[in-house]
Structure 1
Amino acid sequence: MIEAILPAGVVSAELFDDPVDAVLFPEEEQAVELAVDKRRREFTTARVCARRAMAALGVPAAPVVPGPRGEPRWPAGIVGSMTHCAGYRGAVLARAAEVTAIGIDAEPDQELPEGVLDVIARPEEHGLLRELRGHPAGVSWERLLFCAKEAVYKAWFPLAGRWLGFEEASLSIDPDAGAFSARLLVPGPRVAGREVTGFTGRWTAGDGLILTAIVIPAGHPAG
């Protein structure tokens, strides 16, 4: 499903349930030794996907241990992103020589829990959502906004190494092209000698899911 919104030069793997025979590296086991069963299953299956994507790149299987903010630490020379939600686990990887950063997210195509929209959406984004509600696509636009912002953060963090708040990026969504863009409202990191001022990505929806993806080619700063 996610391959439909990815460019050439990246590989992906996804699963819609949790394999019973999945195993972790010892370092990964340590990261979830105290986790509840749901968290352990999400963590494990996402890494099964990561290993399958590594194989597609011709890279030996390796542990993917979370960093201080939960970000995946990839093998040298690899960039990637993972995501999981109810009914979906996925990973997208590329070689660092070809891609600078990746951010993906998956969400159920359902309305956000009460109160969440007020936390994640800026005033202009509330206006955008009012416009989108009349579109015949039948997507939960509020959830898509959240999903796109999560992809933005996942693409941002490996470049900047710091938190990006929901209010620090303003999004626009193209409902017909399956695309979105994010304008950063804080100074961005420098990539290829230029400041990153925003991101562009793609989205898709189907089978009760919403998926978003941002892929920044090497040497081509976003924004």
Structure 2
Amino acid sequence: MIEEILPPGAVAAESLGDAPLGTLAPGEGLLPEEEPLVAHAVPARRAEFTTVRVCARRALSRLGRPPAPVTADGRGAPRWPAGVIGSLTHCTGYRAAALALDSPRLRSLGVDAEPHRPLPDGILETIALPAERRALTALSRRHPAHSWDRVLFSAKESVFKAWYPLTGEQLAFEEAELSLSPTDPRTGTFEARLLRPGPTVDGHPLTTFTGRWLLRKGLVLTAVAVNAEQNAWQ
């Protein structure tokens, strides 16, 4: 599903549940470098972590790359093999990895998956700017069956995941203003305008991120990709 909203050159692997350990091909399960990251995790967290790494290695294979460990930095962001960019996501009933070869056409990826249901009470006020909340109200009048607050949250998560590899810094929810544009009731695009100075990508200042969203099988899926030639992919 998530490949539908990725740009050309990016690949993905996804799972609607955790992979039974006995069904994994050699090299797909946890590698020694990854084991310490879940050494003390509860079984559910270990299964989730393993399945996301299985997705990552399947995506690496689609790029023509050999299996490789996907460890994490001090903030939990994935560390990819040299020459590869990517993003991981997981939520209840869904795990995915989106990868691409690092090139001027693709410098960073961010993907996110969320359950398609309203955010818990009080969360929207902490993650959305006043203009964003007004826009969500208008969207809800047009398409009342959709949880637009969750779409906004997921889109911001994708932006943050694309931002972090370029800067090594976190981006606060209030530091990017998003606008959502439906193409039809279940898919569309979004743009995030940075409200703080952005990084310079191959000599070009990055001021906006653009991406796509999709509602499918009870999920909200979003994706952002940074293009060094146009600053952001549409």
Asked whether the equivalents of residues 105 and 213 of structure 1 are also in contact (C-alpha less than 8 Å), the reply is yes
Asked whether the equivalents of residues 225 and 232 of structure 2 are also in contact (C-alpha less than 8 Å), the reply is no
Provide the residue aligned with 1:2 in structure 2: 2
SS at match of 1:62: coil
Asked whether the equivalents of residues 105 and 147 of structure 1 are also in contact (C-alpha less than 8 Å), the reply is yes
Deviation at 1:20, TM superposition (A): 1.4
Asked whether the equivalents of residues 121 and 167 of structure 1 are also in contact (C-alpha less than 8 Å), the reply is yes
61, 73, 88: which one aligns with 1:82: 88
User: What fraction of aligned residue pairs are identical, expressed as a percent?
Assistant: 53
Provide the residue aligned with 1:15 in structure 2: 15
- 1:190 and 2:197 are equivalent in the alignment: no
- 1:168 and 2:208 are equivalent in the alignment: no
Q: Which moves more between the two structures, 40-49 or 201-210?
A: 40-49
Number of residue equivalences: 223
Provide the residue aligned with 1:127 in structure 2: 134
Deviation at 1:147, TM superposition (A): 0.2
- Alpha-carbon distance between aligned partners in 1 of 2:163 and 2:81, rounded to the nearest angstrom: 19
199, 208, 214: which one aligns with 1:204: 214
The list of structure 1 runs, each at least 4 consecutive aligned residues, that deviate by more than 6 angstroms after superposition, is none
Q: TM-score, normalised by structure 1?
A: 0.96
Q: TM-score, normalised by structure 2?
A: 0.92
Mapping for residues 68-147 of structure 1, pairs under 5 Å = 68-97=74-103, 98-136=105-143, 138-147=145-154
SS at match of 2:51: helix
Deviation at 1:37, TM superposition (A): 2.2
- 1:26 and 2:32 are equivalent in the alignment: yes
Deviation at 1:169, TM superposition (A): 0.4
- The one-character-per-residue Cα deviations of 1:106-139 (angstroms, maximum 9, x if unpaired) are 0000010111111101111110111110123732
Output the aligned Cα RMSD.
Answer: 1.3
- Alpha-carbon distance between aligned partners in 1 of 2:168 and 2:143, rounded to the nearest angstrom: 39
Gapped runs of 5+ residues in structure 2?
none
- The one-character-per-residue Cα deviations of 1:4-29 (angstroms, maximum 9, x if unpaired) are 11121111100001111152011111
SS at match of 1:134: helix
Q: Which moves more between the two structures, 201-210 or 22-31?
A: 22-31
58, 66, 91: which one aligns with 1:52: 58
